[in-house]
Amino acid sequence: MLKALILLLLVGCAHKVHIVTPVEPFSRKQYEAESKNHMVTSQGEATTKATLEILKSGGNIIDAFVTASFMISVERPQSTGIGGGGFLLLYKKNENKVYAFDFREMAPVLSRKNMFLSKNGTPQSLLSQVGPLAIATPGLVAGLFEIHQKWGKLAWSELLAPAINLARVGFPNYPHLHLAINDRKHVLASDPDAKRIFFKDGDAPLTLGELIIQEDLARTLELIAEHGKDGFYKGQVAKSIIKTVRSKRGILTEKDLRDYKVKERVPVSSIYKGLKIFSMPPPSSGGVHVIQILKMLENYNLKKMGPQSVGAVHLTAQSMQRAFLDRATYLGDPDFSEVPVGKLLDPAYLHKLSEQINTEKAIKAVDLNLVPLPKESTETTHFSIADSEGNLVASTQTINGWFGSGVIAKGTGIILNNEMDDFAQKVGALNLFSAVGGEKNLVEPKKRPLSSMSPTIILKNESPYMALGSPSGTRIITCVAQTILNAVEFEMPLFESVAATRIHQQWQPDKLKIESPFLNQKVESELKLKGHDVVHEKLGCSIQAIQKTKNGWIGVSDPRGEGLALGN
Ligand code: GLY
C-alpha cells in the first residue's frame, strides 16, 4: 500500500510541475547528473563509466561512441550485441551538421518473401523470432569500425579494452537481465554456449548478483580489436557464425557477412516550436513518426490543458494512432521502394491529419482514413553522449527480442539477432511488438527490416539542445515524442520529462496503453468516456537523454531502469 502511494508520487514541486510518475522518490539522485564538460547516459553503469573515462582521457565523441557500443554489448547481452545492429545520429559542432548512419541488419541473400508463412499462408512467428531463420546479417561491428575510421582519434584497440575486460571479469546479474534470462530460459537452455554463460553449473539460471562471465565473447572482441571489422566478418569468427547457423538449417552465408554495407543516410528533420529536430530516417520509421506526432500536436494548445490532463492525453493518443496508420502504409527500406518521407512530413499534410482528430471522441482504428499525400513533396538499447566541444551522439542498437534468436555462434559468445521479425511476414501480420506489417516491409534478399528506433538530436538557435532515444520497439516512437513534448510544450525539467507516466497508442491494436499504476482515476474515466479502450501496461521504454543547460549539460537515465547518467 505504502509502495503504491509512493509510486503515485507527485514530483517536481520545486518547479511547480505536478505530474504522476511510476518512479520511486529516491530516483532523481540516482539517475540525474549535471556537468560542465562531458555527459554520458546509458542503460549500463559500467558502460557510462568507461565511456566517460574515454572522454576524460582525450578521446573524442566517436571514440566514446565506439567504447559505449562495445561496453553495452557486453553489459546488456539480452538487449544488444555485436550479433545485432543499430543507428547513430551525430551532431558535429564544427560543421553544425547532423549525420545519420545506418548499420541495421540486412536480410540474407537466400531469404524469401514467404519464408515465414506455412503452406496455407499462415504467419509462423516462432520462425522469425527464435532460431536460425530469425537471423539477419549483423551490422554493428561494420558500423562502429567504419565510423571510427572516418573520425576516431584514439587507437581502435584501446577503445575495445574496457569491453574485453568486462566480458572476462564479469559483472553481477542485475534485475532486468535476471528477468530476461528467466523469460527465455527454455531457449537459452537448448544452446550449450548460452547455458554455460547464463546457467549455474549448466542447470539453473544464474540468480541475482551472480557473476555473468563471457570468456568466449572476450576472445572474439580481442580478434576484432586486432583485425578491425575483418575480425568479425572474415576468418574464424565468420566461419563459426556460418557453421552454427548452417548446422541448424539457417540460410546466412559467408558472402552475406562479407557483403554487409554500412549506409550514411540523410536525417529526417523539421522545425517544432522553433527547435530543429533531427531523427533517424528509413529504414527506421522512428524519426518520421516522432516528428509527425509532435507536428500534429503543435496545432493545439496542450500547455493550457496541462500535462496529463484528459484533453492533452486524448490528443496525444489520437496523434500517435494517426502516425501508426501511416507507418503500416508507407514505411519500409528506402533502398527497395520509395518511402515518401518529404510528403509524410509536409506541414500542410500534417495539418490535415491533425484536423482529422475529433477533440471529443476517440476515433476507432477501423474508421481512420488515409489522407491523400500531397502531390509533391524489448528490446534494444540507447545511449546519448555530449562532449565539451558541443558534439552530440544519440545511438540506438539492438539484437531485437531478448537474447535475439537465442542462437550463439559456437565458441564466440556472439548472440545472433532475430531482426527478421521486424519484417512483415505478410501484409497485415503482426510482429513481436504487434505492429502491423505493410507491403513495403515484406522480406526481400538484402533488404533492411523496418525499425522504430528513434535516436534524436534537437538544436536550438543552431546550438545543441538535446540528444535522446530509447529501447522498446514501437513504443520508442511514442516515448521519445512524449519526452520532447514534456520538455518543450510543458516546459518540464528534464528529469520530470523522462519520469512522467507515459501512454502509447499504435493504431492496431486499438488500445490506449497507460503505464501502471495509473495516470489519475478521474482522467482515466473521462478518457474511457471519450471512447478510449484503456489498458495498463509496462511500456518498456528507457529514455537516455541529455539537455544543454546554461552551465553545461544535464543528463537523465530513465529511472525505470538500471542505467546511469554521469558527467564531469
Ligand atoms: N528491433 C526493434 C526496432 O528496430 O525497432
Q: Specify the ligand 1 atom closest to the Cα of 452.
A: 5
Task: Give a three-class secondary structure readout of 150-205.
Answer: HHCCCCHHHHHHHHHHHHHHCEECCHHHHHHHHHCHHHHHCCHHHHHHHEECCCEE
Residue nearest to atom 2 of ligand 1 (CA): 473
**In tens digits, what is the pLDDT along the chain, a chain of 568 residues?**
334 333 444 444 444 567 888 887 667 878 999 999 999 999 999 999 999 999 999 999 999 999 999 999 999 999 999 999 999 999 999 999 999 999 999 999 999 999 999 999 998 989 999 999 999 999 999 999 999 999 999 999 999 999 999 999 999 999 999 999 999 999 999 999 999 999 997 689 999 999 999 999 999 999 999 999 999 999 999 999 999 999 999 999 999 999 999 999 999 999 999 999 999 999 999 999 999 999 999 999 999 999 999 999 999 999 999 999 999 899 999 999 999 999 999 999 999 999 999 999 999 988 887 777 654 445 799 999 999 999 999 999 999 999 999 999 999 999 999 999 999 888 877 777 777 767 889 999 999 999 999 999 999 999 999 999 999 999 999 999 999 999 999 999 999 999 999 999 999 889 999 997 677 889 999 999 999 999 999 999 999 999 999 999 999 999 999 999 999 9
Give yes or no for residue 452 CB within 6 A of ligand 1: yes
Q: Are strands 512-514 and 534-536 parallel, antiparallel or unpaired?
A: parallel
470 lines ligand 1 (CB under 6 A): no
DSSP 517: S
What pLDDT does residue 5 have?
36
**Spatial separation of the C-alpha atoms in residues 560 and 176, rounded to whole Å:** 10
Confirm if 417 and 77 have CB atoms less than 8 A apart: no
CB 520 near ligand 1, within 6 Å: no
566 neighbors 34 (Cβ within 8 angstroms): no
Is 316 part of the annotated catalytic residue set? no
Q: Would the CB of 474 count as within 6 Å of ligand 1?
A: no
* CA 518–ligand 1 middle distance (angstroms): 27
473 lines ligand 1 (CB under 6 A): yes
Contact partners, residue 501, CB within 8 Å, separation at least 6: 19, 20, 21, 22, 308, 514, 515, 518, 519
Q: Take atom 3 of ligand 1 and give the residue whose Cα is closest.
A: 451
Distance 280 CA to ligand 1 centre (A): 12
C-alpha 398 – ligand 1 centre gap (Å): 7
Are 73 and 224 in contact, with CB atoms under 8 Å apart? no
Summarised one tens digit per residue, pLDDT across range 146-205 is 999 999 999 999 999 999 999 999 999 999 999 999 999 999 999 999 999 999 976 899
- Calculate ∠ Cα 147-148-154, nearest 5°: 160
Q: Nine-digit cell at 128?
A: 522469425
Helix axis angle, 61-75 to 156-169, nearest 10°:
20
What length is written for the chain? 568
pLDDT of residue 371: 72
- 398 ligand 1 Cβ < 6 A: yes
| pLDDT score, position 436 | 72
What is the rounded distance in angstroms from the CA atom of residue 565 to the CA atom of residue 560?
13
3-class state of residue 280 by DSSP = coil
- The grid coordinates of residue 374 equal 500531397
The pLDDT tens digits for 118-144 are 999 998 989 999 999 999 999 999 999
Q: Which of 479, 464, 370 is nearest to 38 (CA)?
A: 464
Atom of ligand 1 nearest to the CA of 400: 1
CB hemisphere CA count around 515 (13 angstroms): 20
- Please check whether residue 401 is in contact with residue 380, taking contact to mean a CB–CB distance below 8 angstroms: no
Q: Which of these is catalytic: 380, 396, 398, 478?
A: 380
User: For the chain, what are the domain ranges?
Assistant: 45-264+381-441
Atom of ligand 1 at shortest range from CA of 396: 4
